[in-house]
Amino acid sequence: MYLIFRCDCGRAMYAKEGVATRKCVCGKTIKVKTRRIFKKAEDAEAASEMVRELQEEKYGGSFFTTADNIKKKR
């Protein structure tokens, strides 16, 4: 099972269940247990798809750019 959550910077990300921490592209290390879990996914593919949808909600575009590009724009 994969857990989908957001960093404080707003970026959606996922981690495999049982993983303690996950590093965001903004540089912050997220303790997975302390985050509010938005969704769960059966596998990494489904998890990345959910993250993509959450990113689109946040940034309002219909296309998905890479995390690096989002970071550069901000």
67 binds Zn ion (CB under 5 A): no
Distance of CA 23 to the CA centre of its chain: 10
7 binds Zn ion (CB under 5 A): yes
Going by the DSSP 8-state scheme, the letter that residue 18 receives in this structure is T
User: How many residues bind Zn ion, per CB under 5 A?
Assistant: 6
Tell me whether residue 27 or residue 42 sits nearer to Zn ion (CB atom): 27
Residues making up the chain, counted from first to last = 74
**CB contact set of 72 (below 8 Å; sequence gap of 6+):** none
Residues between 29 and 58 that touch Zn ion (CB under 5 A): none
Tell me whether residue 43 or residue 58 sits nearer to Zn ion (CB atom): 58
Whose tokens are 């879990």? That residue is 37
Q: Which residues bind Zn ion (CB under 5 A)?
A: 7, 9, 11, 24, 26, 28
